[in-house]
Structure 1
Amino acid sequence: MHCSIKARPLLAGVALTILAGPAFALDGNDLLAKVNKALAIQGGTIEAQSIAVNGDHVILTGTSFNPSGATERLPIGTVTLDGVKDDAGGYSIDKVTFPNFSTSKEGSTVSVSDITMSGVTVPGDASTGGFDSLLLYDEAHSGPMTVAVDGKTIFAVAETNVTTALSDDSSGLDFDLNLKGMKADLSVIDDPQTKEAVTALGLTSLDGKMTVSGNWTQNDGTVDIKEYSLDFAKVGRLNLAVSLSGYTLDFIRSAQETAKAMEANPDKQEAQQAANLAMLGLMQRLTFNSAQIRFEDDGITKRALDYAGKKQGTTGEQMAQMVKAMTPLMLAQYNIPELQNMLSSAVNTFLDKPGALTVDAEPANPVPFPMIMGAAMGAPNTLPKVLGVKVSAND
């Protein structure tokens, strides 16, 4: 009897553990359902033929992704989720690992390997209307990616990394994208004239990188892209920076609803007309803050002038002088004297010594898109003043 009494607490503990176990087990179906609710605004759904849960590991087998508006699902395969934890009604995931991907169509093959996501957050409530209702991650990574045509690689990326960071109050989202080791083979071009130009310009092979960075603010929907650049060795770096407001989650939902309505309408002409009107309405909610386009030369300008000059039976230096003389004549027809003078001066400076050419648009105050569209249709020559356009070179 004495031994039996001692055993009771142990047996009770074992029984409690057994009974409590299911309450603390992860629900794989609930996890996938909440992932799809969060993905609704980001454009797509995920399906899995089976879901297996083992502690904090979840394995989705026979997974496929259906992008919004697509007619075919994209097969993925087995997806492994490690370090899955309940998090305020949602889930946090330490790491998601995808299988290597390869697809072929009409002689072209796209392959990507080493695909992972880390620090993934699945919201418990995807209807709050804030950034905390989105499926977010700290980092998304992929290793080598190649595009091959008839067995020959024509484009490749060594590594891709995307990072995001939500502000402490969930009001802002920072994002960065880096594509490293971008290589393109343009020697495969068949058209003789294009092949001649590509060869003369030294573009038969390209080696470079792509960088995107910026932030997105929730309340007023300000998207501030500080850098969107393509940088190729012996060619140059082209960067676009732009800031606009009004691009809220509600704006995105409205745009998606417009797209769905267009797809559901069997009369495609009528659907297109309705979509155009709806998009015009949506554009009225956007505001232009600023923009910049900047090109930094790394040798392509001289080669382009030499090639153009040769085609005209002259030299690159003489071709540069011809371009400098033609620029004000071409701009004169647009009745934009102030911009004409700035652009002509910048072109002269740039062609004399190719460095950087920059076009800035910085209005004194943010400009609503309807005002921009009105100026473009009614008095296009006023657009440079409306947008505060300035042009400079080698600064």
Structure 2
Amino acid sequence: MIKTTGLLATTGLTTLALMQPAMALDAETFVNRVETVYKAMGYDLSFGAATLSGDTITVDGVTVNVPGADMEPTVLDTELTFSGVVENDDGSYFADSLTVPDIDMEFGDDHVGHLTLVDMVAEDLWLPPEGQTSADVLLQVVGRMATGPLTLSRDGVEVVKIDGMEAASEFAYDDNDALESISSSLSISNIWADLSTVGEEEPEAGAVIAALGLTTVSGNITQSIDWTMADGHLAVNEFLLDFADIGALNITADVAGFTPAMLDKIYALQSSDLDPASEEAQAKQMMAGMEIAQAMTISGLGIRYDDAGLTPRLLDMFAAQSGADRGAFVEGLKTMLPAMIAESGIPALGDLVVPPVSAFLDDPRSLEVAVKPATPTSVLVLAAAASNPASLIQALGLSVTANQKSK
């Protein structure tokens, strides 16, 4: 059973029930609930004054702090608008959307920077009843977040543009309305950047950019994840960075054991009042790390790079710097490669790495590193096998391939 709104997803109410009169709203109680819920996830939020008009709650800014993080609190000094807010009979809240005014600001000293970001929205927001902050509940608090175009200019010249960003989740439930699985997607579309001015601040980096013909870059970032709650099976189907005339880097994963119960332990560490540098905090982190390593199993991991012109340009650049032509430079690299791998002290890596990397240097099309154990294997077992690199390679089912079609 699939439900796409946070309200239906988490309260289990039918459409008819939702049409019944909602409880009287209180703006301060609502924002206090937001603070409580996000504190359980490791965020310390402090909202400004909140006012209510019909089913709309307007908040005068927010300060965001992440305890334990080495960074100053982020102050968002602007109006936040929660629309379509209702309080349900069980004490939970639902809001159709949270919107933030468009950003149009200048910054910088030596150079004038100008940032614009429009159409920021979070939709299908749900806050559980008071006291309910378990991980399976917190996973459902936002259905979708998105923005419109972003532009960043330097001294009046555009240097970065993005058409839009979107992150969305679809929740599935069992017959008892318990969360069964989540399908999530991420998209950052039509990224464009002008790197021609990098050399003004970093001459060496600018020279490399010019030599590689990367004065402008463009591409997209996409991600797709499926996650089932009962066994903690997390499948990263795609995490793809795809840039024109450069290449595509895709990361995939297939792991199990990452359950809401495990996430509860992580949230507990994040929200702890202990000093992160204290012995007690470090001991708890170590214990939690051991539990996670024992519980999580790996069925597969993969990193694949499909070249779209970057590697030949890199080889040409390094060859020119060495005073050789590209063919001679590549042959030199291939000759040195076995000795370089031997320095790792893991002889088994030689036969695994040298042939495919040599093939990629000769004909740069694709290079893929994959982990595929014969059976799902716990992270703790793999960590123990690390004392014998040859056995670790076998346990991982490690492979390196070049110029093969994507499966």
TM-score, scaled relative to structure 2: 0.80
Q: Which residue of 2 aligns with 1:121?
A: 126
- What is the CA–CA distance in structure 1 between the aligned matches of 2:278 and 2:61, rounded to whole Å? 38
Asked which structure has the greater CA Rg, the reply is: 1
Q: Which residue of 1 aligns with 2:335?
A: 325
CA RMSD of aligned residues (A): 3.0
- What is the CA–CA distance in structure 2 between the aligned matches of 1:156 and 1:69, rounded to whole Å? 33
Question: How many pairs does the alignment contain?
Answer: 371
Q: 1:92 aligns with which of 94, 99, 111?
A: 94
Query: Residues 303-358 of structure 1, C-alpha deviation per residue, up to 9 Å, x if partnerless?
Result: 01111111111112222222222223322344655543242222233233221111
Q: Larger deviation: 177-186 or 23-32?
A: 23-32
* Equivalent AA in structure 2 for residue 167 of structure 1: A
Aligned positions of 1:356-375 closer than 5 A: 356-375=366-385
SS state at 2:236 partner: strand
Q: Which residue of 2 aligns with 1:52?
A: 51
Instruction: Work out whether 1:228 is the aligned partner of 2:230.
Output: no
Q: Which residue of 2 aligns with 1:355?
A: 365
Q: Which residue of 1 aligns with 2:393?
A: 384
Aligned positions of 1:36-75 closer than 5 A: 36-69=35-68, 71-75=72-76
* Equivalent AA in structure 1 for residue 53 of structure 2: N
Aligned positions of 1:129-144 closer than 5 A: 129-144=134-149
- What is the CA–CA distance in structure 2 between the aligned matches of 1:129 and 1:86, rounded to whole Å? 20
- What is the CA–CA distance in structure 2 between the aligned matches of 1:158 and 1:50, rounded to whole Å? 33
Q: Larger deviation: 333-342 or 298-307?
A: 333-342
Q: Which residue of 2 aligns with 1:312?
A: 322
CA contact (8 A) 1:122 1:134 kept: no
CA contact (8 A) 2:115 2:152 kept: yes
Shift of 1:105: 6.9
Instruction: Work out whether 1:162 is the aligned partner of 2:172.
Output: no
CA contact (8 A) 1:65 1:76 kept: no
- What is the CA–CA distance in structure 1 between the aligned matches of 2:108 and 2:264, rounded to whole Å? 32
Shift of 1:52: 2.2
Instruction: Work out whether 1:181 is the aligned partner of 2:190.
Output: yes
Q: Which residue of 2 aligns with 1:201?
A: 212
- What is the CA–CA distance in structure 2 between the aligned matches of 1:303 and 1:382, rounded to whole Å? 37
Instruction: Work out whether 1:252 is the aligned partner of 2:263.
Output: yes
* Equivalent AA in structure 2 for residue 58 of structure 1: I
SS state at 1:311 partner: helix
Shift of 1:225: 1.3
Shift of 1:42: 2.9
Instruction: Work out whether 1:240 is the aligned partner of 2:251.
Output: yes
- What is the CA–CA distance in structure 1 between the aligned matches of 2:109 and 2:374, rounded to whole Å? 51
Distance 1:225 1:105, change over 3 A: farther
- What is the CA–CA distance in structure 2 between the aligned matches of 1:148 and 1:271, rounded to whole Å? 47
Distance 1:129 1:271, change over 3 A: closer
Instruction: Work out whether 1:77 is the aligned partner of 2:78.
Output: yes
Q: Larger deviation: 94-103 or 268-277?
A: 268-277
CA contact (8 A) 1:36 1:46 kept: yes
CA contact (8 A) 1:125 1:133 kept: no
Q: Structure 1 or 2: larger helix share?
A: 1
CA contact (8 A) 1:180 1:210 kept: yes
- What is the CA–CA distance in structure 2 between the aligned matches of 1:260 and 1:41, rounded to whole Å? 6
- What is the CA–CA distance in structure 2 between the aligned matches of 1:151 and 1:68, rounded to whole Å? 37
- What is the CA–CA distance in structure 2 between the aligned matches of 1:110 and 1:365, rounded to whole Å? 50
Shift of 1:104: 4.8
Give the gaps of 5 or more residues in structure 1: 1-21
CA contact (8 A) 2:145 2:168 kept: yes
Give the gaps of 5 or more residues in structure 2: 1-20
- What is the CA–CA distance in structure 2 between the aligned matches of 1:135 and 1:289, rounded to whole Å? 26
- What is the CA–CA distance in structure 1 between the aligned matches of 2:268 and 2:173, rounded to whole Å? 31
The alignment-based identity, stated in percent, is 27
- What is the CA–CA distance in structure 2 between the aligned matches of 1:380 and 1:147, rounded to whole Å? 47
SS state at 1:138 partner: strand
CA contact (8 A) 2:135 2:261 kept: no
- What is the CA–CA distance in structure 1 between the aligned matches of 2:154 and 2:146, rounded to whole Å? 25
- What is the CA–CA distance in structure 2 between the aligned matches of 1:242 and 1:271, rounded to whole Å? 33
